[in-house]
Amino acid sequence: MARPAATIESVQARAYRIPTDGPESDGTLDWDATTLVAVWVDGGGRRGFGYTYADAAAAQVAEGALAQAVRGTDALDPPAAHAAMARAVRNVGRPGVAGMALSALDAALWDLKGRLLGQSLATLVGRVRHAIPVYGSGGFCTYGPERVAEQLGGWVAAGMAAVKMKVGRDARADAARVRAAREAIGGAGLFVDANGAWSRKEALGSAARLGDEGVSWLEEPVSSDDLAGLRFVRERAPAGMEVAAGEYGHDALYFRRMLEAGAVDVPQADATRCGGVTGFVAAAAVAAAFQTPLSSHCAPSLHVALLCAAPTAVHAEWFHDHVRIEGMLLDGAARASGGTIAPDLSRPGLGLELKREDAERWAVR
């Protein structure tokens, strides 16, 4: 067998903990910072970049077991390296931190391939569309009605056809916040995300009340681990309300199980968790096989090319925290225009570079 023209030589990783611009919470969690884990891979005289949003421990996994697994592999064959990484973390546990590290390194491998070939990721994976709609996502439970209205209304004014807010902490407060959102956005699509805060019966009651406000998307009404519960809510939700989940999916089999269970109307794949570019493409193939709409979770700059390649993709999540971080720290970050984002074909690979000097003040590893 001929020796590869370029092989993977080294892997580096760094973690940055970036404070939020204010206190944030959803139905089940509070946070005041987001950790970006950056990974670089060298081979053939070029360097590829990938990233995930995870605990800083993901950087250690990337530089340890995963680096050992990919070192010496063909730099033009990311799926082979992906398979080697999956084997390497079998006994560590693929879901969670190891899976996020794998996802970041996989993205870096695809970025490296694009740079070696002088081609954008969108060109490498192909496109069925030139741009993908985005929906504004924020409206945290810490936001009162006025701030929810300002944020969501601003996205609609900028051309987005739909927006999403967090619910699940306080039913009375949620009702006021949802009404304020509806008044601010007019007839635009209104999505809500409970982050698994409710029991099955609580979710049904909430779905009925939300339906009265024209909510058309109910995300994680119950835990995403409860596929039977998701199906229970989906089958009883008001007409016109889609149930969505999937952000914690770590491989294509997860999405197959979810769709075979009839758990959701729209699965949400996250390339920072489900295996990077290789994993997202596989998840998109599952959605296409089930003829099911597909959306992405967070990290819009990573997903723009992947959603343009996915046959059944409908939109990308324009998540406030990640849009802010990527706009500050990633050269080439996705920019929304008229409610859509599109890949930049003139930039090879992912088309992204971390502004390391700007990020260094937040380095934690």
- The mean pLDDT of 277-285, rounded to a whole number, is 98
Q: Residue 21: pLDDT above 80?
A: yes
pLDDT digits (tens, 9 = 90+) for 99-117: 999 999 999 999 999 999 9
pLDDT digits (tens, 9 = 90+) for 194-252: 999 999 999 999 999 999 999 999 999 999 999 999 999 999 999 999 999 999 999 99
pLDDT at position 98, please?
97
> Which tokens go with 1?
């067998």
Q: Residue 4: pLDDT above 90?
A: no
pLDDT digits (tens, 9 = 90+) for 288-321: 999 999 999 999 999 999 999 999 999 999 999 9
User: How does residue 166 score in pLDDT terms, banded at 50, 70 and 90?
Assistant: very high
pLDDT at position 5, please?
80
Percent of the chain with pLDDT over 70: 99
Block residue for tokens 């794998």: 102
pLDDT at position 365, please?
83
User: How does residue 91 score in pLDDT terms, banded at 50, 70 and 90?
Assistant: very high
For residues 140 and 165, what is the distance between their CA atoms, to the nearest angstrom?
6
pLDDT at position 3, please?
56
pLDDT digits (tens, 9 = 90+) for 41-66: 999 999 999 999 999 999 999 999 99
User: How does residue 144 score in pLDDT terms, banded at 50, 70 and 90?
Assistant: very high
For residues 359 and 329, what is the distance between their CA atoms, to the nearest angstrom?
6
- The mean pLDDT of 317-328, rounded to a whole number, is 98
Phi, psi of 343 (to 5 degrees): -70, 150
Report CA Rg, the chain. Answer: 20
For residues 102 and 5, the model is more confident at 102
Q: Residue 2: pLDDT above 70?
A: no
